[in-house]
Homo-oligomer: A and B are copies of this chain.
């Protein structure tokens, strides 16, 4: 990984077009030749911009994720109060997703396609982001709830990230409308979810996340959750 390829304009263009191709065809199904054809850059010429197809995927995921994190961080600054924070986060996440659908589909759907150092770095970003989202969810959990913070957090991720499977701009609400609906649904759900059983008070948080997101070889999750 030594020297990460630097990020100039042309690379930016390649990443954008590649993301669309990966989103459409799937990472493994799309060939570097497809990218060559689409970008107009010769097959070997592409390797000036990335050193492997896997690095290309990494660059897409990294760039996309970092942009998302920047926007979220900026957005949360103006939000006061737990509910406002969570609403803001949902708005930004969905707004970014809808505005960058190919990249976000690739980020969500091709989590397992990276390995080694690349996987580790994206995983690091994901871990931070999951912790951040969880940090916005937990304050809204009723004190006596039986709802796990972890379950609730991933339920929210599921709601939001699944959209790449069904959302169609032409017939569904726009990003703002979608965000409002999902925020209403989820926040009302949290408020109303007060229950019987044991909660997850014993949860130490950081360590739990770590394990939850670790690559579990042979296990199903493989830590790929956003």
Contacts and interface: CB of A to CB of B under 8 A. Distances in A.
A147 interface: yes
A101 B197 CA distance: 25
A197 to B, nearest CB: 7
A197 B168 contact: no
Report the copy number of this chain in the oligomer: 4
A125 interface: no
Given A185-B190, A189-B192, A163 B158 contact: yes
Interface residues of A, number: 64
Contacts of A221: 164-168
A173 B151 contact: yes
Contacts of A146: 180-181, 184
A26 to B, nearest CB: 6
B181 A147 contact: yes
Contacts of A109: 109
A225 B109 CA distance: 13
A79 interface: no
A226 interface: yes
30 contacts: A26-B112, A28-B29, A101-B220, A102-B220, A105-B220, A146-B180, A146-B181, A147-B181, A148-B181, A151-B181, A151-B182, A152-B181, A154-B167, A155-B159, A158-B160, A159-B162, A162-B225, A168-B212, A168-B221, A171-B212, A180-B197, A181-B193, A184-B193, A185-B189, A185-B193, A187-B192, A188-B189, A188-B192, A188-B193, A191-B192
